[in-house]
Structure 1
Amino acid sequence: MSGQVQPSPLILFVDDDEMSRTLFARATRGLYHVRVAQHADEAMAILDRHAAETAIIVTDFRMPGRNGDDLLREIAEKYPHIVRILVTAYADKDLLLQMVNTGNVFRIIEKPLRMEAIGEVLSLAIAHFNERESRHQRLLAMDETLGFLAHELNTPLAAIALFARGIGEDRPDESEPERRARFADAATSMLDNAQYCLSLIESFWSSVKDGGQRPSSPAATHEVRATRLVAGLIETYPFVSSQRDWIAVDVQGDFIVSAMPNCVALVLSSLLSNALRALNGSNAPSLRIEVTTLPAPAIRVCDNGPGIAPDIKARLAHDVVTTHAGSGGHGMGMIFCNRIMQSCGGSLRIESALGVGTTVTMDFGNSRKRAYAIDSHAPLEAHSSRGTLS
């Protein structure tokens, strides 16, 4: 496992004084990714492009044109997730109290700027941002998963009700073998649909319990980077023994997951669990998670486990089949994962060879509405085109 890539909070600093901008950049070098602006209009232009990844704005009060108070009011309305800090050399107590009381300002830094004060306030602001966004992300996850469950449970439950009504109204006797066969098929369909519903509820309940016990990856909006999903999963997954050491992450390109990112995270968690289970007992277990944008946005989970027999692989994403029945597998996991990816406008592909290993690819398609590459000219953090995540 070589160098690690960590998400770096983006901070926007606004001040018409070049010396102040230089001092702020020096005080935060190596800790945060910083953008600077000379006035309020330039700051808003930057946020129009980078609001999703911006955690904090620090602005001077006195500037040509619009002052810091006006800028922070607009940001509070348009981008409420951003933590707002005011820099001022003026002791206008009434104004400052009003800004703090209305919630437009998290903290106030006095001029002249001191490096110690900057570091302390930014540390508090980042903690505040992460805590608030973690709560927000858990609520999004709950809402998103509930919506998916409601949609997915509707059809199988309706089928169960239809078949049950038919069985209740018309029961064949021993002299009607064809009708008895149709009833047997209906009973099998009812069982399959019921198992699917139960598996969805079980997966949802597990995610709710985990969400209450482990921190969620902070996200400024409903759009989340693929690398952040992977990093968040590895950070919070309950690895056993040396399992964490089996994993390497290969980042060949990053993209935004704009459709149901929390449900996508559930798919990723399920694929990781399957791969780890397949590797149990292997002499040299290896699991690689790839994030790529070529030829299209995708996340791949690759293991060097025993592989899957062709007849089972062909049915995994569509039929109730499991290779782990002895350890409690019910065969619904891959169906669940496949349905989520289809709902996201993508797909799930399984490639496997006995004795070689298995690769499961989460394809997000070419549509920029579903997933799109991050602008390489404006990286969220400096890193090479190929790296690893912790």
Structure 2
Amino acid sequence: MSDARQPRLTVLYVDDEEMACKYFARAVGTEYEVLVASSADEAVRILRRESARIAVLVTDFRMPGRDGGDLLRQVALEYPQIVRILVTAYADKDMLLRTVNTGEVFRILEKPIELGQVREALRLAAERYRERSIRHQRLMAIDETLAFLAHELNTPLAAIANFARGIESRVAAQYNPLRQSEIGQAATSMHDNAQYCLAVISSFLQSVRSSGSRPSTQAGASREVTAGGLIAALLDTYPFAGPQREWIKIEMHDDFAVRTLPNCVALVLSSLLSNALRALDGVDSPSLRFVVAAEPDAAIRICDNGPGIPPEVMGRLLVDPVTTHASTGGNGLGMIFCNRVMQSFGGGIRIESTSGAGTTVTLDFPNTKSRMHRSDR
């Protein structure tokens, strides 16, 4: 099938040499819409107006003022959906390595650039851009679907919670003390589980609305979602029982941005918090720590001083539906779900546990180029 009906993609070409800009536009202008800039600063001004339709950035390295490497780093940070190509006439390996590593360059073209090489590089870049667009659309669809499900579940769960509380208040007048205790405990469990579901839904919806699940056309139009921010939102909405919130401490070594699936990461954190609190039930001097660190690799650790995970369960925890809480409704699928979510965007889960000495669950995130202490360029 022909691609004739697909709209032409837009390419931004940056070079301080006017003839180079004219040559590039003339060479590929029949296949792509071409915008040109004579400096990094002019390119940034164009991006602020037109980033929603720019698919590929092609920039020279050596330019007066800010060089192409600096521009590539800014674009990688602020417009990650744009595929980036570097053009250089200098065989400086150290410079190229720095630029590739920090600017996430898709291809490097040497000057004088040949028409065939340019067209092939742009063809591959266009394919990469379309793949990213399709993936982003799918992620948006997932967000919208989960938000719809959350909305639909909210009302019946609230009704269950209220009904359970009503049972608790009425049971004392109708049953003997033993039966009262059994029904009361069941009603309390029903209420607490419904409240937990409501809290998860609330946290998820808040994350969907604030994480910029729709692409921004301007830099800075939406706030970054950070690991520390996800934890803070979770602790603000989680339905803690009794003194549970007092057990929890947060250690922030260096915050980092959660750029992929922050809404699902919020659900993972909620599930792991629930597991840890359940493990700490009945422990003397219970302690639970969230540790956020960006170096050497971005990670969130959840550490508790509970009884630990039995060895026969530990080895199967991330692959089989095993649980030590079947009597209270556990089915062992939660940890598998959490691991699959983390793996879906290049991360993962590691678990360290010793019987009687607590458990540490580590969420590993893919390499992130921008730490929260780093200033925008």
TM-score, with structure 1 as normaliser: 0.43
User: Relative contact order (C-alpha < 8 Å, sep 6+): which is higher?
Assistant: 1
TM-score, with structure 2 as normaliser: 0.45
